[in-house]
Structure 1
């Protein structure tokens, strides 16, 4: 751990956000800088390691009490990304819908409950977040999210995951105006969700996989989709240096109507069991099969976001016990994820530094900036002895061992 003596330059864009007052901008810069560069990404850790912070209490009040609109803040973030060619979205991009589980220790945080985590292969105690994510060949970043909260089965009024997914689509189409023409989602959202129909109501396309037990009508008979493999002949095709065995046809699928079905199996090594047969369906009836497979491959971008954010940006570190505090944490994290890609050396507001899917190179650049700021801070404090400065720095290290796991 090292002291962070100045805000990361990529956070200066907050000075243009009308959703934040001047005082709020200071706290937003503090928190985003801490999420990127601090070793302890809790409120206590950030307030301690980012020296311009005005204290743990002030930062906590910024997240839980101060009056600022995180929804407007998020829309301003997305508008800023459209000012840079490399992050500007287009109709050729994709909106990816998926959820992730963040494990929690406490039982007072909003939405906490028992959820099955596919990444862990087990049920965990945590929160379930549904995200929308934009991706194309040059960039990728989160758009918005919803927190899913489990309720009693008798509660007919609470939002299901399907309700939240449709709500996200409505926000993106009616409020944000993302031009991407195609939505991608997993088999969970393709089953009895009303999501495909909702997407189509905005004139957009969708691609998603079917579970192997979904019913399709073939040869006048309704059968499971995996039973089709016994009745069809696949064709070998090379797509992006990978060999696939493919069959495709327009046919009726239960709950989806007439869609294009693509059955694809990628050739792998004998001991590689990670590539089972995929049953992809889409309303893009006339789209080439290669396009469907390549498009669905873009879903991995959101998985990378989940992994990077949990490992490097503190996605799962927030243990706040208020809805507003947790929501603002996640909104500031999305801002940090997006803005850390901007290189301040190229222009006043920055240009995209890297189009790589992983944040690691961008985080290394930000940490180098923090180290440079620290050295400049030491050099510019010529009115104070080196021993005094080292005492102040040492104070930070000593206290980091006592409260590294403290969460406000």
Structure 2
């Protein structure tokens, strides 16, 4: 891993934030630079690899002791994203509600517990984070999050809090997307109290009423004839009708069967419901497909920004780590959007293009740092970075 000799340019907007004091801005830029460019994204790893960082102790104090407001940081972060067309939100965008797990090994990690992870198809020890993500044709970025605590609030209650926060901070998106975990009367009534539209999947065993008969939705699938439809170049066989669904009332039900891309793949069947009664089926399919953005966000932040790498044992420290990660993600989006290639790169669903630019900048800064030290020998320069090789 190359030593990181100076702050990445994507961190420059931190100087504009009022939430941090002068000295706190230095720590914030150190931490965000480390989240983006360091190979080890723990406090110790960032302090070691980011040379401007003062020390591990200084970063720990910044995360756990210094006085700064996380909610204010989140508001200022979102305000920064509204300064460019490529990241500005609109009513045409959507808010995606979903959760993810971070795998942990220590039992003293805040609110770590035993959870069933469907992606791992088994139980894991870790934390469960619920996010609200903004997405449109141009961009994707996080809005806010909650940490699920067992024996406290339910996931649906936390999702309602996220909706409240989105409304409070002024997110204009008219439509919310979520999966079967949150598809309950309680959550839907809450959304509709704000006059929001929604699209969700339901489980195959959810009951619907069709032709006066109550049945499982997968049993209904066996009784109907689907019609082929092309959406964004993909072929779907669809059937749709307004039906009464258990615990949801009368909503639009859409059964979709997506043709497999490969002969060995299985037919992909989805049962989608929505209060957008008059929306065409193709519109609902395109909307629900945007849920994939949240999976990309989780993958990128886990692989590239250290979503699950926080080892702090305090609730406050862990929360601040996740807020700074959202800042790092947003600054990458903002920095690329403002570059000459922004129109092309910022529309990519992955952070890879953004991170490549940051890696290039890291190498350039390292070379500049070495060339700017002609009076120092190679041994002297290596002494400054020797911790990287311990």
- TM interval, shorter chain, is over 0.9
**What residue number does 2:163 align with?**
169
What's 1:396 paired with?
387
TM-aligned CA deviation for residue 344 of structure 1: 7.3
Instruction: Tell me which residue corresponds to 2:175.
Output: 182
Q: Does 1:331 align with 2:323?
A: yes
Query: 1:3 & 1:200 partners in 2: Cα distance?
Result: 51
Alignment of 1:243-254 (within 5 A): 243-254=235-246
Q: Conserved in 2, the CA contact under 8 Å of 1:32 and 1:335?
A: yes
Cα distance in 1, alignment partners of residues 91 and 337 from structure 2: 30
Inter-partner Cα distance in structure 1 for 2:344 and 2:162: 27
Task: Find the aligned partners of 2:334 and 2:156 in 1 and give their Cα distance.
Answer: 34
The question of 1:109 aligning with 2:102 is answered no
Task: Give the Å deviation of 1:18.
Answer: 1.1
C-alpha change, 1:344 and 1:217, in structure 2 (3 Å) is closer
Aligned counterpart in structure 2 of residue 271 of structure 1, from 242, 264, 284: 264
Cα distance in 2 for partners of 1:351, 1:323 equals 38
1:239 — aligned with what?
A: 231
Is this contact kept in 2: 1:86–1:352, CA < 8 A?
A: no
Aligned-residue offset at 1:392:
2.5
Tell me the equivalent position of 1:286: 278
Give CA-to-partner distance per residue, 1:353-399, whole Å, 9 cap, x none: 52211111111110110111111111112232233113323x13322
Q: CA deviation at 1:319?
A: 1.6
Structure 1 residues 321-330 or 234-243, which shifts more?
234-243
Paired with 1:212 and 1:339, the residues of 2 have a C-alpha distance of: 40
* Residues 341, 353 of structure 1: 8 Å contact kept: no
Q: Following the alignment from structure 1 to structure 2, what is the Cα–Cα distance between the partners of residues 213 and 376?
A: 62
Offset at 1:284?
0.4
Following superposition, the deviation at residue 343 of structure 1 comes to 3.4
Unaligned runs of 5+ in 1: 152-157, 400-408
What displacement does 1:234 show?
A: 1.1
1:3-402 → structure 2 map (5 Å cutoff)? 3-151=3-151, 158-173=152-167, 175-192=168-185, 194-268=186-260, 269-273=262-266, 275-343=267-335, 353-393=345-385, 395-399=386-390
Aligned to 1:357, the other structure's residue is in SS state coil
TM-score (norm 2): 0.96
What secondary structure does 2:355 align onto?
Answer: helix
In 2, Cα distance between equivalents of 1:239 and 1:31: 42
Q: 1:278-334 deviations in whole A, cap 9, x for unaligned?
A: 110000000111000000000000000111111111111112111100000000001
The corresponding residue for 1:406 is none
Q: Give, in whole Å, the separation in 1 of the partners of 2:184 and 2:52.
A: 49
User: Cα–Cα, structure 1 residues 121 and 33, in superposed 2: closer, same or farther, change >3 Å?
Assistant: same
Taking only aligned residues, the RMSD between alpha carbons, in angstroms, comes to 1.7
Structure 2 gap segments, 5+ residues each: none
Q: Is the 8 A contact 2:302 2:308 kept in 1?
A: yes
Q: CA deviation at 1:130?
A: 0.3
The one-character-per-residue Cα deviations of 1:119-145 (angstroms, maximum 9, x if unpaired) are 111100000000010111110011110
Give, in whole Å, the separation in 1 of the partners of 2:275 and 2:343: 36
Alpha carbons of 1:178 and 1:242: their partners in 2 closer, same or farther (altered >3 Å)? same
The 8 Å contact of residues 95 and 135 in structure 1, kept in 2 or not, is answered as: yes
Query: For each residue in 1:213-272, what CA deviation from the matched residue of structure 2 results, as whole angstroms up to 9, or x when unmatched?
Result: 111111111111111122211111111221111110011111111100001101114420
Matches of 2:336 and 2:348, distance apart in 1 = 18
Scaled by the length of structure 1, what TM-score is found?
0.92
SS in 2 for 1:375: helix
